[in-house]
Amino acid sequence: MTTEPILSRNFDRPAARTLAGYRETGGYGAWARAQEMEPAAILEAVKASNLRGLGGAGFPTGMKWSFIPKGHAGPVYLVVNADEGEPGTFKDRYLLERDPHALIEGMLIAARAIRSALGFVYIRGEYVQPWRVFDAAVREAYDAGLLGRGLDVIVHRGAGAYICGEETGLISSLEGKKGWPKVKPPFPAIKGAFGQPTIVNNVETLCCVPHIVARGAAWFAGLGTKTQGGTRMYSVSGRVRRPGVYETSVSITLRQLIELAGGVAGTGRLKAVVPGGGSAPILTADEIDVTMDVDGLKAAGSMIGSAGVVVMDESVSIPEALLVLARFYAHESCGQCTPCRESTGWIYRMVHRIVDGHGRKEDLDTILDVARRGAGTTICAFYDGAVGPYISYIEKFRAEFEALIPK
Which residues sit at the interface with ligand FMN, rule CB under 6 A? 53-57, 59, 81, 83-86, 163, 165-167, 200-202, 205, 380-382, 385
Per-residue b/e over 288-318, b at no fewer than 16 CB within 10 Å?
A: bebbbbbbbbeebebbbbbbbbbbbbeebeb
Check binding of 172 to ligand SF4 (CB under 6 A). no
- Rounded to a whole number of angstroms, the minimum distance from the CB of residue 231 to ligand FMN is 15
Cβ atoms of 251 and 6 closer than 8 Å: no
Check binding of 334 to ligand SF4 (CB under 6 A). yes
Check binding of 335 to ligand SF4 (CB under 6 A). yes
Using N-to-C axis directions, what is the helix angle for 128-143 and 100-114, rounded to 10°?
60
In one-letter notation, the amino acid at residue 171 is I
Q: Which does 379 bind (CB under 5 to 8 A by kind): ligand FMN, ligand SF4, none?
A: ligand SF4
Q: Which does 83 bind (CB under 5 to 8 A by kind): ligand FMN, ligand SF4, none?
A: ligand FMN
Task: For residues 159 and 90, give the distance between their C-alpha atoms in angstroms, rounded to a whole number.
Answer: 17
Total residues contacting ligand SF4 by CB under 6 A comes to 14
Among 115, 341, 349, 396, binds ligand SF4 (CB under 6 A): 341
26 vs 376, beta carbon nearer ligand FMN: 376
Region near ligand SF4 per CB under 6 A, out of 127-135, 227-235, 263-271, 378-386: 378-386
Q: Which does 165 bind (CB under 5 to 8 A by kind): ligand FMN, ligand SF4, none?
A: ligand FMN
- Rounded to a whole number of angstroms, the minimum distance from the CB of residue 331 to ligand SF4 is 11
Peptide bond into 185 cis (omega under 30): yes
**Between the CA of residue 383 and those of 35, 242, 341, what are the distances in Å?**
42, 32, 9
- Rounded to a whole number of angstroms, the minimum distance from the CB of residue 107 to ligand FMN is 12
Check binding of 345 to ligand SF4 (CB under 6 A). no
Neighbours of 356 (CB within 10 A): 10
Task: For residues 344 and 351, give the distance between their C-alpha atoms in angstroms, rounded to a whole number.
Answer: 11
Going by DSSP bridges, is the β-strand pair 118-123/77-82 parallel, antiparallel, or unpaired? parallel
- Rounded to a whole number of angstroms, the minimum distance from the CB of residue 207 to ligand FMN is 10
- Rounded to a whole number of angstroms, the minimum distance from the CB of residue 373 to ligand FMN is 19
CA-wise closest residue to 302 among 387, 212, 177, 205: 387
Write out the residues near ligand SF4 by the rule CB under 6 A. 163, 181, 333-337, 340-341, 378-380, 382-383
